[in-house]
Amino acid sequence: MPELPEVETIARVLSDGKGEYQTSIIGCSIKNAQVKWARTIAIPSPEEFSERIKEQIITALTRRGKFLVFSLSRDAMLVHLRMSGDLRVEDHLDQGGEPIPLDKHDRMALILNNGQRLVFNDTRKFGRVWLVADAGEVTGDLGPEPLENSLTAEKFHKVLAARKRQLKPLLMDQSFLAGLGNIYTDEALHLAQLHPLAIASELSEGDARRLLDAIRVVLKEGIRRNGASIDWVYKGGDFQNHFRAYGRTGEPCPECGTPIERMVVGQRGTHICPTCQPLA
DNA sequence: CACGTCACCTGCGTGC
DNA sequence: TGCACGCAGGTGACGT
């Protein structure tokens, strides 16, 4: 599911306590961990994970690219939701004081000292959790954050100019730029009126500036709408009702009315307006 | 370096 | 109804 806006939304909901339970997880300590699908834990072993995370306090929750970064008293826990992951906070015990059974696709749960639990649900089992001393061990190879002002249009043009790669796969390369996925890349390219197969190094400075602006516009709108909710994966977002191109095959382009076309780029379904996004 | 292919997983919609 | 198939918000390991 989750690209930058969905991950950002989850981070905000959990740290601000805006969810169903209205309490923040910041300041809670972890009583213990339940790992139901061992491969969910990327590092260390599930056994060591459960031991080492006990009694640690959640001091902060931030986002880096598509990673959720939990700062703990001694370590950092990182969660990547991949295609179908989600996090939720709920009561751990029922009225009688018995643990409420986890759902079928819950892969891991952290029992907190306030009677609640943080649950990682992931139908497709692609998601991963890391427990490391320093978050940089996991996020070290990520490219810049697209919403940070330190990424200027000049810098962006310079790094694009250095790459003879197809634009869409490059934008989705997390070591080039952190946070874009299939949806927001299609949306940004459509807004910037650039073709996904354009060669990065051939973009003009104006193209690069327009692209960076477009990326920021679609990401910010995604965040403002609490992300995009498609099918059964991830709920609560509204951005899916405002897609310009993604998933709109055959529907009229919002700019010119030409039917949106679907193509495949880098094995990913890709949606473009052939009129607004010509290839050179 | 750039690109294609496959693998990892489960579930849903479609068409026969 | 059953069943095969293609598709899905991501990434990483290969081979060329």
Residue nearest to nucleotide B6 (CA to C1'): A267
Q: How far is the CA of A267 from the C1' of C4 (A)?
A: 22
| Phi, psi of A221, deg, nearest 5 | -65, -40
| pTM for the predicted model, two decimal places | 0.97
Domain boundaries, chain A: 4-139, 153-272
Round and report the angstrom distance from CA (A102) to C1' (C4).
Answer: 33
pLDDT of the residue at A26: 97
User: Which residues does chain A have with pLDDT short of 50?
Assistant: none
User: Residue A263's beta-bridge partner residues?
Assistant: A270
Looking at the domain A4-139, which fold is it?
A: N-terminal domain of MutM-like DNA repair proteins (3.20.190)
Whether the CB of A40 is less than 7 Å away from nucleic strand C comes out as: no
What 3 state SS string does A219-267 have?
Answer: HHHHHHCCCCCECCECCCCCHHHHCCCCCCCCCECCCCCCECEEEEECC
Find residue A35's DSSP bridge partners: A108
Same fold for the domain at A4-139 and the one at A153-272?
no
Active centre residues of A (catalytic): 2-3, 66, 268
Q: Assess whether A158 (CB) lies less than 7 A from strand B.
A: no
CATH architecture of A153-272: Orthogonal Bundle (1.10)
Strand B proximal to A164 Cβ, under 7 A:
yes
Nucleic acid strand B within 7 Å of A36 CB: no
